[in-house]
């Protein structure tokens, strides 16, 4: 090796050490940042404000209504970008589908910024956006439909419906539909991604690697900066006070309690004379149940009318028509049907797919169970309460009106009289010219029927009908 070659080798050694100790990371980072920006927003965005719309907490129909209003406001303001700030564990399938359709129909560029959680219905909503950005440590997936009461996986027909929604939404935005379906069905296997037997949930890094997420950024400001809109005004869109109140009143738990107030109050009002506290409870419950649902479009006028007709039929069955027949059964069907229809987002007689009815079925079932428990417990213990007697309006049982005390009724055994009111099984009878509260052994007795007192236990006077030949 000549001297010139030795000098060249001696110069290469320090240069190699220098590049080995100090790699060109800053240049590489700039290229990565540039490519990330190009991948997130392929074309320059139009001038206009950036709208930031929160999708947080349980997914319900009020939230769906709010997202629709926010989208209209953004399009009216010629916004350059809509960022949906997502942090939810899911909610109602039909409400999530409404939000999904709203986002897909928006002509502006949309971004789902997942701040920690986009589970179940939240994953469906995120898939509807043009771009998905996740914060470090966030997750997306676990979109299996579950039963409202038990939390267990719903039958396959519900899962099939959700799989279809996830697949169609993924295809609409150029994402892998197999991964979207694997977030719903634990039996689906995606090679290299998930094995059969577990529902797919992706972390931020996994979602980015598989093409579900387009970027991982720390906050919304970083998204705005990536869009080249750092100097553009941002609008933090918020739900109105009315919408927040409606979300509170339309929650499934409160819906069940309000229906319980209605039906329980109506039942105990019919068991007591006059109009008192139970009737007021039923009226308040009906107002708080129907008014919010009517305002958000879930309840239509015909559903309220059916509820009113059902209540009138029940009243007619109790006070006008003897026995329990067509009027009573029709009243129960109309009341129950109107309440069920009020829980779902139907348009006229056009109802959502059967899979979307599961939350309403769960709410109705839970309410009926609570109502039965309430009826048995309160009917046994509440009438004995002195405070309950102060709340219920009852007629005065004065001797001037023909009522007698319990002490003198032991002597009435064997006497006969005439029923003054229908006995179903309790009512009023004329015994020796005195009006006495009586009860049969379970049979129904029409007014004007001859009856005989067969047993007295305290204030309980038991009668039976006297055959016409007697």
Q: Are residues 235 and 306 in the same domain?
A: no
Could you report the per-residue pLDDT of 401-412, keeping only the tens digit for each? 555 554 556 778
Does residue 9 fall inside a structural domain?
Answer: no
- How far from 191 is each of 170, 194, 209, 409, CA to CA, in Å? 18, 6, 14, 85
pLDDT at 32: 35
Residue where a domain stops, chosen among 391, 411, 443: 391
The owner of tokens 């939810």 is 88
Cα torsion 272, 275, 280, 283: sign: positive
Q: Are residues 205 and 101 in the same domain?
A: yes
CATH code for the domain in which residue 71 is found: 3.90.226.10
Q: Are residues 274 and 354 in the same domain?
A: yes
> Considering the chain, what is the average pLDDT of its residues?
78
pLDDT at 77: 94
- Model confidence at 276, pLDDT cuts 50, 70, 90, reads low
| Domain of 221, in residue numbers | 24-240
| Percent of the chain at pLDDT exceeding 70 | 74
Could you report the per-residue pLDDT of 422-434, keeping only the tens digit for each? 888 888 999 888 8
255-259, 335-339, 399-403 — which is least confidently predicted?
399-403
CA distance 454 to 59: 62
- Model confidence at 378, pLDDT cuts 50, 70, 90, reads low
Total domain count, the chain: 3
pLDDT at 348: 55
CA distance 327 to 96: 39
Does residue 262 fall inside a structural domain?
Answer: yes
- How far from 134 is each of 111, 215, 225, 366, 464, CA to CA, in Å? 10, 7, 15, 37, 77
Q: Are residues 148 and 269 in the same domain?
A: no
Q: Read off the pLDDT of each residue in 301-306 and give the average, rounded to a whole number.
A: 83
Q: Is the pLDDT of residue 122 over 50?
A: yes
Highest mean pLDDT among 62-66, 92-96, 382-386 belongs to: 62-66
Tokens, residue 86: 């997502």
**Phi and psi at residue 63, to the nearest 5°:** -65, -40
Highest mean pLDDT among 126-130, 273-277, 422-426 belongs to: 126-130
**Phi and psi at residue 214, to the nearest 5°:** -95, -20
CATH code for the domain in which residue 414 is found: 2.40.50.140
Angular region, 120: left φ>0, alpha ψ -120 to 50, beta rest: left
Does residue 275 fall inside a structural domain?
Answer: yes
Q: Are residues 204 and 71 in the same domain?
A: yes
CA distance 337 to 276: 27
Does residue 1 fall inside a structural domain?
Answer: no
- Model confidence at 125, pLDDT cuts 50, 70, 90, reads very high
Q: Are residues 378 and 453 in the same domain?
A: no
Q: Are residues 233 and 270 in the same domain?
A: no
Q: Read off the pLDDT of each residue in 206-234 and give the average, rounded to a whole number.
A: 91
Could you report the per-residue pLDDT of 165-218, keeping only the tens digit for each? 999 999 999 999 999 999 998 888 877 777 777 889 999 999 999 999 999 999
Q: Is the pLDDT of residue 224 over 70?
A: yes
The answer to whether 382 touches 388, Cβ cutoff 8 Å, is: yes
pLDDT at 38: 44
Q: Is the pLDDT of residue 17 over 60?
A: no
Does residue 14 fall inside a structural domain?
Answer: no
pLDDT at 426: 85
Does residue 232 fall inside a structural domain?
Answer: yes
Could you report the per-residue pLDDT of 131-169, keeping only the tens digit for each? 999 999 999 998 887 765 555 676 777 788 889 999 999
pLDDT at 282: 82
Query: CA angle at residue 209 from 203 to 211, to 5 degrees?
Result: 100
109-113, 163-167, 283-287 — which is least confidently predicted?
283-287
| Percent of the chain at pLDDT exceeding 90 | 29
Q: Are residues 196 and 119 in the same domain?
A: yes
Q: Read off the pLDDT of each residue in 246-269 and give the average, rounded to a whole number.
A: 78
pLDDT at 15: 45
Q: Are residues 408 and 357 in the same domain?
A: no
Q: Read off the pLDDT of each residue in 41-67 and give the average, rounded to a whole number.
A: 87
Q: Read off the pLDDT of each residue in 231-242 and give the average, rounded to a whole number.
A: 89
Does residue 13 fall inside a structural domain?
Answer: no
Q: Are residues 42 and 174 in the same domain?
A: yes
Query: CA angle at residue 317 from 322 to 276, to 5 degrees?
Result: 115
Q: Are residues 234 and 258 in the same domain?
A: no
**SS3 category, 338:** helix
Does residue 162 fall inside a structural domain?
Answer: yes
The answer to whether 119 touches 139, Cβ cutoff 8 Å, is: yes
pLDDT at 148: 55
DSSP classification of residue 218? S
């Amino acid at each position: 090796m000549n001297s010139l070659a030795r000098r060249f080798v001696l110069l290469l050694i320090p240069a190699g050490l220098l590049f080995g100790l100090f790699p060109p990371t800053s240049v590489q980072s700039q290229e990565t940042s540039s490519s990330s920006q190009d991948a997130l927003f392929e074309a320059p965005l139009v001038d206009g404000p950036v709208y930031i719309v929160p999708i947080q907490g349980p997914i319900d129909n009020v939230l769906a209504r709010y997202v629709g209003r926010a989208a209209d406001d953004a399009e009216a303001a010629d916004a350059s970008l809509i960022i949906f700030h997502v942090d939810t564990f899911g909610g109602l399938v039909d409400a999530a589908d409404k939000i999904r359709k709203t986002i897909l129909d928006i002509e502006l560029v949309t971004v789902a910024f997942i701040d920690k959680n986009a589970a179940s219905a939240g994953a469906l909503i995120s898939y509807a956006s043009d771009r998905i950005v996740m914060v470090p440590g966030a997750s997306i997936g676990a979109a299996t439909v579950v039963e409202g009461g038990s939390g267990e996986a719903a039958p396959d027909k519900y899962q099939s419906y959700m799989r279809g929604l996830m697949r169609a939404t993924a295809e609409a935005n150029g994402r892998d539909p197999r991964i979207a379906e694997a977030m719903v069905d634990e039996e689906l296997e995606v090679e290299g991604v998930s094995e059969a037997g577990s529902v797919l949930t992706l972390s931020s890094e996994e979602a980015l690697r598989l093409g579900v997420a387009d970027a991982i950024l720390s906050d919304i400001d970083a998204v705005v900066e990536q869009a080249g809109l750092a100097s553009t005004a941002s609008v933090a869109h918020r739900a109105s006070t009315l919408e927040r109140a409606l979300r509170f009143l339309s929650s499934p738990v409160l819906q069940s309690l309000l229906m319980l107030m209605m039906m329980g109050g109506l039942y105990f009002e019919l068991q007591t004379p006059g109009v008192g506290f139970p009737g007021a409870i039923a009226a308040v419950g009906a107002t708080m149940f129907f008014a919010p649902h009517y305002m958000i479009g879930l309840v239509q006028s015909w559903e309220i009318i059916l509820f009113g007709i059902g209540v009138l039929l029940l009243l007619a069955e109790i006070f006008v028509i003897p026995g329990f027949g067509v009027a009573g059964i029709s009243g129960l069907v109309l009341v129950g049907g109107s309440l069920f229809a009020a829980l779902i987002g139907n348009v006229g007689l056009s109802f959502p797919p059967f899979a979307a009815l599961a939350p309403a079925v769960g709410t109705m079932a839970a309410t009926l169970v609570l109502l039965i428990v309430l009826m048995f417990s309160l009917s046994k213990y509440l009438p004995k309460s002195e405070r309950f007697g102060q709340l219920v309006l009852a007629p005065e049982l004065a001797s001037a009106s023909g009522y007698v005390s319990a002490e003198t009724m032991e002597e009435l055994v064997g006497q006969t009289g005439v029923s003054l009111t229908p006995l179903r099984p309790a009512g009023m009878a004329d015994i020796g010219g005195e009006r006495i509260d009586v009860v049969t052994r379970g049979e129904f007795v029409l007014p004007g029927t001859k009856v005989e007192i067969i047993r007295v236990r305290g204030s309980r006077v038991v009668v039976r009908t006297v055959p016409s030949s007697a």
